[in-house]
Amino acid sequence: MSEKEQPTTMERILQEITAISRRTEGMDASISSLTLETKSMRSDIASFQSRMTGLEHRMGTLETHVATIQDRDQDLLYLQSKITDLEDRSRRDNIHLFGIPENEEGPDVQAFLSSVLPKLTSLTFDPPLESQRAHRVGPKCSDGASRPRPIIACLLRHTQTCQLLQVARNHAPFRIDKYEICITVDYSKDTNERRKAFLALRPRLRQLEMKYGLFDPARMWVTKNGVSKDFYNPRT
């Protein structure tokens, strides 16, 4: 290149300024793009924070509902406990008799019980034993070989009920001819189920040579080597 064709100092400066300007424009474009991306990210973050706030609010609401449900469950358990207790109390003068042959009682179940219970238990009742009502439980089976239906009776005097049940616990079973007769307490369905859970443990307790006793309403005492433990079966 001849000296005339070579760019002057001013031209070189202008060329450099032009190149810098172009690079600056590129940087401005990149900055603008980054700014847009940053705004978009901020928008996304704000949306995410909003959703998190909504989720936290829902979680708080759910926790409140769960606590309310748990409180209601506790209330229901308490009410169920009170209802069962009231039902058991209403049955405290009832007795169940198992094993009495069908038709043995004749047409008057109450008169039959007033006559046969003192003989079975060797108890003398003064005044005489009376019941408010008495009847067989369940439908009559046509098969004569079937187990006889139990008799349920509501005795008139609570002291006589206690006497009968005490003798039944200590001396049962009783006998009429060749038949074994058992007398038991009349519990509610809920209490019976809780007592059955304890009764299922008896074979294992015998195997371990442990003494045991089942008491009202659903409580078991277990004793071994002079050490006793009281177990209570709560409602579930």
pTM over 0.85: no
The pLDDT score that the predictor gives to residue 1 is 46
Return averaged pLDDT per consecutive 10 residues of the chain, 236 residues in all: 58 71 68 78 82 82 83 84 89 92 90 92 91 89 74 94 90 81 90 84 84 79 78 60
For 148: left if phi > 0, alpha if psi spans -120 to 50, otherwise beta; the answer is beta
**Residue matched to tokens 């900055």:** 31
Collapse the DSSP code of 173 into the 3-class scheme (helix H, G, I; strand E, B; otherwise coil) and give the result: coil
- Distance separating alpha carbons of residues 218 and 233, to the nearest angstrom: 6
pLDDT of residue 10: 72
CA separation for the pair 13, 24 (Å, rounded): 16
Report the distance separating Cα 132 and Cα 112, nearest Å.
Answer: 13
Taking 3-state DSSP, the helix, strand and coil percentages for the chain, each rounded to the nearest 5, stand at: 55, 20, 30
Q: What is the CA radius of gyration of the chain?
A: 44
Torsion of CA 35, 40, 45, 51, to 10 degrees: 160
The pLDDT score that the predictor gives to residue 142 is 66
Q: CB–CB of 152/94 below 8 Å? A: yes
Output the pLDDT for position 7: 61
Count of residues making up the chain: 236
